[in-house]
Amino acid sequence: MSAIISPDVSLEQLKSTTPVRLGVMASGSGSNFEAIAHGIINGELNAKIEVLIYNNPDATVKEKAEKLGIKAVLLNHRDFQSREELDLAIVEVFKNHGVEWVVMAGWMRIITNVLLNAFPRKVINIHPSLLPSFKGINAVEQALEAKVKITGCTVHLVDLAVDSGPVLIQSAVPILEGDTPETLHKRIQVQEHLIMVRAIALLAHLEN
């Protein structure tokens, strides 16, 4: 049983002339960050990751950035008094690097208007469910507990509420007999990497 991506746009259709300048935010393993970087290296995506921001000193995304030669900046949320202060620092780093689009690729912090106002309608997020179902943390577990037969992943424009905002692209992933959170999340992540690259290509295409 295969996944279904909608809209079913091919990367060929979405070639853009001007590279989009990306700032990526990640908290964890960074497989989505890596997928974007590989999409750029493979020529599927006309973009440049100007800088990665990560908030967790142990996040393995840092090593991935080093290997790829992409600048990584640690902004540890524990060093900031409020969410707004952290976002202010994020905005400063992104503006200093000429970032146009912000990609939340597994960013496990709630963002504020400080970031959204600095990049109006230019912040995207990836979430491991078919939004608006199963918002928040443990989305994969939530889908299994609800005993639905299909779940998936979503890339959407970000607004102030958690995991909310206009959907750009989704992939539907069947839940199989005997799936655990790990087996299901693994299949969802394969789709995340595909739709992440397509979502950025779509945005770049619309801008050009």
Burial class (CB in 10 A: 0-12, 13-18, 19+), 26: buried
Do the beta carbons of residue 20 and residue 101 sit within 8 Å? yes
Binding ligand GRF by CB under 6 A: which of 23, 39, 128, 165? 128
Binding mask 131-170 for ligand GRF (x = CB under 6 A): ----------------------x-----------------
Residues 68-107 that bind ligand GRF (CB under 6 A): 105-106
The site that binds ligand GRF (CB under 6 A) totals a number of residues, namely 14
Catalytic residue among 127, 156, 185, 193: 127
Task: Please name the residues in contact with 189: beta carbons below 8 A apart, sequence gap of 6 or more.
Answer: 31, 32, 128, 153
Which residue's beta carbon is nearest to the bound ligand GRF?
106
Give the residue from 100, 98, 96, 119 showing the smallest Cα distance to 165: 119
Task: Please name the residues in contact with 125: beta carbons below 8 A apart, sequence gap of 6 or more.
Answer: 104, 107, 155, 156, 158, 163, 165
Is residue 39 close enough to count as binding ligand GRF by CB under 6 A? no
Residue closer to ligand GRF (CB basis): 116 or 130: 130
Q: Give the shortest CB-111-to-ligand GRF separation in angstroms.
A: 13
Do the beta carbons of residue 208 and residue 16 sit within 8 Å? yes
Report the C-alpha gap between 45 and 2 in whole angstroms: 24
Report the C-alpha gap between 112 and 88 in whole angstroms: 9
Instruction: Tell me whether residue 127 is one of the annotated catalytic residues.
Output: yes
Binding ligand GRF by CB under 6 A: which of 23, 30, 39, 152? 30
Binding ligand GRF by CB under 6 A: which of 14, 22, 28, 62? 28
Report the C-alpha gap between 16 and 202 in whole angstroms: 9
Residue closer to ligand GRF (CB basis): 127 or 156: 127
Residues 168-207 that bind ligand GRF (CB under 6 A): 189, 192
Q: Write out the catalytic residue numbers.
A: 127
Contact residues for ligand GRF (CB under 6 A)? 26, 28-32, 105-106, 126-128, 153, 189, 192
